[in-house]
């Protein structure tokens, strides 16, 4: 019995539809509305990979900033965009500090005065101060060329990682990589600096927006 009732119901619907279409004068309709939702996930920025190259120059010896015979070494470094999307930064800050950001300090076995950031000059700046490089000329050094800035704020834009790069002379941008450099000098301070002898001085390089 259930199957027959279903057949009649569908037949009735079909007949009603035919009669409605055959009249040709008016169409019946229902009004309705509906709402749907969708979503898209926005990716997150990732940290740049900052890598120091090979230091060039001789072993550092104490000398004044104006000494024509001073020893100045140069450290190249790169900032690489590891994301498959464009990322940018505005400032590079370089300081004599440990990798975790703590102050560098070493005292030799003889108990001489500690060797610290105050013994060194970066890019010819006052001993002990960080070197700040910007593309807008607002920092200590304007070493980020404005030619590679995407706007007047000096934003340095790095392309997606898959674009790769071609090695270039610092300072410069090529594809996903910024090529930079910093100089370091041991500044004579008129005091015992024996604790600095033979030490490997840590440099902390940060690229920030």
- Sequence ranges of the domains in the chain: 49-208
**Spatial CA neighbour of 189 closest among 40, 94, 65:** 65
The pTM assigned to this predicted structure is: 0.74
Measure the CA–CA gap between 177 and 195, rounded to whole angstroms.
37
Classify residue 54 as exposed, middle or buried by CB count within 10 Å of its CB (0-12, 13-18, 19+). exposed
pLDDT score of 38: 53
Encode pLDDT of 141-170 as tens digits: 445 554 444 445 667 888 889 988 988 888
Encode pLDDT of 75-118 as tens digits: 999 999 998 888 888 888 999 999 999 999 999 999 999 999 99
pLDDT score of 153: 61
- Burial state string for 56-75 with b = 16 or more CB within 10 A and e = fewer than 16: eeeebebbeeeeeebebbeb
- Please say if the pLDDT value at position 69 is more than 90: yes
Measure the CA–CA gap between 129 and 126, rounded to whole angstroms.
6
């Amino acid at each position: 019995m259930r199957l027959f009732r279903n057949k009649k119901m569908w037949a009735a619907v079909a007949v009603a539809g035919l009669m409605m279409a055959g009249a040709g004068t008016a169409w019946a309709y229902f009004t309705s509305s509906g709402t749907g939702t969708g979503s898209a996930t926005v990716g997150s920025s990732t940290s740049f990979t900052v890598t120091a190259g090979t230091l060039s120059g001789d072993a550092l010896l104490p000398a004044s900033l104006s000494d024509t015979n001073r020893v100045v070494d140069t450290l190249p470094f790169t900032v690489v965009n590891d994301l498959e999307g464009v990322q940018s930064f505005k400032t590079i800050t370089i300081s004599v500090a440990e990798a975790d950001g703590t102050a560098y300090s070493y005292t030799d076995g003889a108990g001489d005065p500690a060797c610290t950031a105050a013994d060194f000059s970066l890019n010819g700046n006052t001993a002990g101060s960080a070197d700040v490089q910007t593309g807008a000329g607002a920092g200590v050094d304007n070493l980020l060329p404005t030619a590679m800035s995407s706007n007047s704020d000096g934003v340095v834009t790095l392309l997606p990682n898959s674009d790769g790069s071609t090695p270039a002379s610092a300072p410069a941008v090529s594809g996903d990589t910024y090529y930079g450099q910093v100089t370091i000098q041991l500044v004579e301070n008129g005091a015992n600096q024996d604790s600095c002898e033979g030490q490997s001085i840590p440099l902390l390089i940060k690229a920030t927006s």
